[in-house]
Structure 1
Amino acid sequence: MCGRYVMARAVGDLLAEFDARLEEEVDIPPSWNVAPTDDVPIVLERLIDDATVRQLHVARWGLVPSWAKDPGIGARMINARSESVLEKPAFRKAVQSRRCAVPADGYYEWKQGADKSKQPYYVRPAEGSGLVFAGLYEWWKDPSKAEGDPGRWMLSTSILTADTPPPGAESTIFGQLTALHDRVPLPMDRATMEHWLDPEADDAPALVELVRAGVKDVAAAWRVDSVGKEVGNVRNNSPQLIRPVEALF
């Protein structure tokens, strides 16, 4: 599960890190509390004049299928289960030809205590480098807006998730993640990302399995820190949210 995450890097840094270009100027304010339906950066590749071009775009978090009657459905489509993404009507076309990478600095999870209160945790690479999740994107046309209206087309995205490793990994980072939630967002290393983004790659099942198979190695150096409950309110958004605190349970 990935329902809140951190993306605080500047546009210029993302362009350099992913060797991407802009199709048009974008504004992506840093956020330490990215929530569903927020605008987020994504990286995708397109074939332009027979050449593969990597671009940085801004998308709404929560995929809106092209056939949706209104964009409200996207709030329920922030994650796509990798085990069923090839069959689900909302995602099966996107996984074939509209795959993207979703940059992040880390993400949040919550664990419920005996008193029903929830302790938030921040999951991130131990060395402080960024993450990149496997994602999907889709374009939705607003039928209420006229042809030529720049707001007629909405770009949206979803993050792939996977079930965490089975029992037996308690002594690893995965043991901690399993204790927090039974699913994790799917991270990619750079080699996997190259395959995932390739617009000419057409074996979607193999690509999904490639990403799923690599999750353990990519996340091996992650760490989990307990953080303050302020992150639970989407109106709170500052670097203070990721500061480690003593866990309540």
Structure 2
Amino acid sequence: MCGRFAITLPNDAMAQLFAARPANDLPDVPNRNVRPTDQIHTVISDATDRRLAPMRWGFVPVWYKALNDGPLLINARAETIAEKPAFSEACRARRCLIPISGFYEWTTGADGKKQPWYIAAQDDAPLALAGIWQDWTRGEASVRSCAIVTTAANEALKHIHHRMPVIVDAADWPLWLGEAGKGAATLMRPATDGLLKFEARAPE
């Protein structure tokens, strides 16, 4: 599960990091409390042109008659993504990267109180999450939306949550974006245990 995250990297630095051409209408940064339905940064590619572009976080299947016509699909499970009607075509043909600085999860203590955790790279480097995207149109309304791909948590994260976003290593960005042929399904796995650190901190 991934329901909140932070992005603090400036737009020009994001474009440079991913060697992507930035759109003119990117969301403002920093944003340390990105929520579902917000516009977020994504990296997409048609194999010859990488672009840093905004999308709505919350995947809208093509058959929805309105944006709220069904569940808010902010995550897509790696184990079933290829079989789900909402996600299967996007998984094959419309994959994206979602740059973040870190994400949040919550645990519940014995007293019933919720403890927020901020999870980021050990070296505070930006993370690139695996995503899928979809164009949706009804009449004059048009939305480009996305979901974060999740998988089972690694051993280091299991004490906080049983799911985690799929984190794509820089060397694998071309494969996930469809620039390096087939085999992207092999990337939908938990991160290595030493990649992340955990801090007891709430979204700002």
Confirm or deny a common fold (TM above 0.5): yes
- Please state whether the residue corresponding to 1:216 is helix, strand or coil: coil
Alignment of 1:160-171 (within 5 A): 160-165=149-154, 169=155
2:65 maps to which residue? 69
Using structure 1 for the length normalisation, give the TM-score: 0.77
Using structure 2 for the length normalisation, give the TM-score: 0.93
- Please state whether the residue corresponding to 1:71 is helix, strand or coil: coil
- Please state whether the residue corresponding to 1:16 is helix, strand or coil: helix
Larger radius of gyration: 1
* Post-superposition offset of 1:136: 0.3
Alignment of 1:1-249 (within 5 A): 1-22=1-22, 24-30=23-29, 31-46=31-46, 52-72=48-68, 76-143=72-139, 145=140, 152-165=141-154, 169=155, 174=156, 177-198=157-178, 201=181, 203=182, 206-212=183-189, 215-217=190-192, 220-228=194-202, 231=203, 241=204
**Larger helix proportion of the pair:** 1
Structure 1: state its 5+ residue gaps: 146-151, 232-240, 242-249
**Cα gap change, 1:73 to 1:12, in 2 (>3 Å):** farther
> RMSD over aligned Cα, in angstroms?
1.7
* Post-superposition offset of 1:75: 5.9
Structure 2: state its 5+ residue gaps: none
How many residues end up aligned between the 2 structures? Answer: 203
2: CA distance, partners of 1:221 / 1:180: 15
Fraction of identical pairs, as percent: 33
* Post-superposition offset of 1:216: 3.0
